[in-house]
Amino acid sequence: MTIGTLTQRPAPPGTPAPAGVRPPAGRLVALTGGLLLVLVLLSAVHLVQGTAAVGVADLLDWALHPGSDLEAAVVVESRIPRLAAGLAVGVALGTAGCVMQSISRNPVASPDILAVNNGAHLALVTGAVTGLSLPFLGDVALAFAGALAASAAVLLLTGSEYGTVRLVLGGTAVSLALASLTTSLLILRPMEGTGLYAWSAGSLSQNGLGTLRLMAPVILAGVAVLLLQGRRLDVMMLGDDEARALGIPVRRTQLGVLLAAVLMSAAAVAATGPIGFVGLAAPALTRLLVPYVPGLHRHRALIPLSALMGVVVILGADVLLRAVMGAQGAVRVPTGVVTSLLGGLLMVALALRLRATSIGGSSSTLEIRGTGTRRRALLTSAVAAVLVGVLAAAALVGDRTFLVGDLVLWARGEAGPLVTTVMSTRVPRLAAALLAGMALAVAGTTIQAVTRNPLADPSVIGVAGGASLGAVLMVTLTPLAGFWALTGAAGAGAAVAAAVVFVLSARGGFASDRLVLVGVGVSYVTTALVTTLIVATDPFNATKALTWLSGSTYGRAYEHLVPLALVCLVVIPLAWAGHRYLDLISIDEDTPRVLGLNVPRTRLALLGCGVLLTGTAVAAIGMIGFVGLVAPHAARTLLGRRHRWVIPVAALLGGALVVLADLLGRTVIAPDQLPAGLLTAVIGTPYFLWLLHRTRAA
């Protein structure tokens, strides 16, 4: 058939018009008008919500007859600055998220995923606790420096192709590391960091308009610069090669757009704290309307409407928070908690919408083959010797340093009172670290094998977050609950989170990359819920909660370890007994079925082992990140993929990692201490990022 014989079919709704033909603007104008109307209504409701009795009539009276009465003071000094903060930050984050998604051509790129918010937050907390300040714009300059360094690290490590799973995992890893450092500062300097925990979730509360007067020019200048780049961004959406052929300097444009977006995000963080996922939700919701609104695909329309959508999301979240929690209760709960819940749910929805073929492949390339398969027994013995050495060093070193002879005398029961007293507190901590590390390592090994995803760490896919939420709920509702009740609550939370993740991921073939995205979304949701429980029920004891949520062995006694010890003694041997099943399931979906294995039942049983181990470990010492990722990878690096050897070696490596982290946390800044979970994040994040870096797209 020749070209001349082809008949022209009607274009589907929302198809971009040919070059030089301007699409009708009716729907675009209607959408803009609708968003502005919603914004006006939300602003009106926002102004009448609060602890003071100022209603619509008072507002109208104040607008028509400005005066110095109490109602006017409430509106001018409190509510208008709060509304102005929502407007400014919504514009900044909505615009920044829109252009970040465009330059990366990635639907989940945002200031949160690129670690911009966490980088800016760490820089601001560092300045708050140390008195550090930079010239020109003060906090904005400090936040910009931290945000730029974080986003550059994510983009450099994840590669030039910005694959969805790779970007999400790299950003999540960098964010966890930065959050660990931030939490360490808040724990070490509780007086200087007072109030920063609630602020870290993002709050619109303002003391006047002074901060916003400083931030507004930065945000407006950023919007103007990005609008001027609108035509270039339109062309770049076709692809880098096509854009270069049309004369667009691709890398220079990407760098300029990224700098402007990071500066706007940093200004927003400096004004209100890191309000989560507005930069993801606003442009994502706007882009969903592109097929139905001709002309919306052009960035000179997409950018301002994403900014409007950002304001609607923030003000809507704040109005909803005050409507549900009440005026008094909403004072303690940051607005960012609601937006983080929305962002987590939206990430789950995006993961379910994306086809597995569009996001697949990147995670499977991270599988590492063993290099020492001929000397497995020797390597296993060497790893066991390393663990014994780390345990001995941890027992001898601390606020009091002992000799090997003291340890021998204590083991015989012949030590003096000083050695006995110190060891009675130090050894239970070592036992807690050892058991929790082994449990998380074996849990990570089983989950990775069953899902055939080497990145499926219990903390990354939401299981540890669910366990943490269950434990915090138990502590909140029943402060005097014992460790058995706490373990049961943590196990139930882990089971619920795992069920949600795996049921949703099973839709469409249990694709491993979809599982990662759903798990990350569930993790963000559980983190937001935990933050709500802490700040709403015990805002003056955030340091204690932070310490537990960061994974701490402090104060552990032998009786606290009974549930974890029993689970390890029963479940780890069960997991090892299923090593042949793990070998088969980790290959593909068809091989175990051909060999007669009941795959669903076996998968459920093995996942149950991982969930139970994770829940009891979290209940025992709190959240410990990256152990379930690093230990299995290191074991496969040494011994290959045979789980008969991987499970015990991963358990030994996991125990050694957490014991080492606990040792460093007790000694590096003695007499102060850092939770072990923070140190495992600092140790494990570089390894995880190395995995991403070594497999980055060419």
What secondary structure does DSSP assign to 429-495, as a single string? Answer: HHHHHHHHHHHHHHHHHHHHHHHT-TT--TTTTTHHHHHHHHHHHHHHH-TT--HHHHHHHHHHHHH
pLDDT at 363 exceeding the cut of 60: no
More confident residue, 73 or 40: 40
Per-residue confidence band for 91, with pLDDT thresholds at 50, 70 and 90: very high
pLDDT in tens, 263-314: 888 888 888 888 878 888 889 889 888 888 888 888 899 999 999 999 999 8
pLDDT at 14 exceeding the cut of 50: no
Q: How far is residue 384's CA from residue 633's CA, in Å, rounded to a whole number?
A: 17
Q: Looking at 223-232, 265-274, 368-377, 629-638, which range is the least confident one? A: 368-377
pLDDT at 361 exceeding the cut of 50: no
More confident residue, 32 or 61: 32
What pLDDT does residue 591 have? 77
What pLDDT does residue 568 have? 92
CB contact at 8 A, 429 and 660: no
What pLDDT does residue 305 have? 93
570-577 contacts: CB < 8 A, separation 24 or more? Answer: 571/439, 571/442, 571/609, 571/612, 571/613, 572/438, 572/439, 572/442, 572/613, 572/647, 572/651, 574/609, 575/442, 575/445, 575/446, 575/606, 575/609, 575/610, 575/613, 575/647, 576/643, 576/644, 576/647, 576/648
pLDDT at 68 exceeding the cut of 60: no
Compute the average pLDDT of residues 324-338. Answer: 71
More confident residue, 661 or 698: 661
More confident residue, 267 or 672: 267
pLDDT at 667 exceeding the cut of 60: yes
More confident residue, 58 or 368: 58
Compute the average pLDDT of residues 364-374. Answer: 52
pLDDT in tens, 490-546: 888 888 888 888 888 776 555 666 777 788 888 888 888 887 777 777 654 555 556
Average pLDDT of the chain is 77
Q: How far is residue 77's CA from residue 262's CA, in Å, rounded to a whole number?
A: 30
Q: Which residue has the tokens 């000094």?
A: 77
Q: How far is residue 331's CA from residue 119's CA, in Å, rounded to a whole number?
A: 26
| Separate counts of helices (H) and strands (E) for the chain | 30, 0
Q: Looking at 45-59, 119-133, 357-371, 665-679, which range is the least confident one? A: 357-371
pLDDT at 352 exceeding the cut of 80: no
CB contact at 8 A, 563 and 613: no
More confident residue, 9 or 403: 403
For 633, the 3-state DSSP assignment is helix
127-131 contacts: CB < 8 A, separation 24 or more? Answer: 128/192, 128/193, 128/196, 129/185, 129/186, 129/188, 129/189, 129/192, 129/193
More confident residue, 16 or 246: 246
Q: Looking at 24-28, 344-348, 431-435, 691-695, which range is the least confident one? A: 691-695
At a CB cut-off of 8 Å and minimum separation 6, what does 213 contact? Answer: none
- Residue 379: its H or E element: helix 376-396
More confident residue, 5 or 580: 580
Percent of the chain whose pLDDT exceeds 90 = 10
Q: How far is residue 242's CA from residue 539's CA, in Å, rounded to a whole number?
A: 54
Per-residue confidence band for 54, with pLDDT thresholds at 50, 70 and 90: low
Q: How far is residue 632's CA from residue 449's CA, in Å, rounded to a whole number?
A: 10
What pLDDT does residue 562 have? 85
More confident residue, 64 or 501: 501
What pLDDT does residue 210 have? 75
What pLDDT does residue 10 have? 39
More confident residue, 88 or 488: 88
Per-residue confidence band for 465, with pLDDT thresholds at 50, 70 and 90: confident
More confident residue, 56 or 383: 383
Per-residue confidence band for 671, with pLDDT thresholds at 50, 70 and 90: confident
Q: Looking at 209-223, 260-274, 548-562, which range is the least confident one? A: 548-562
What pLDDT does residue 93 have? 92
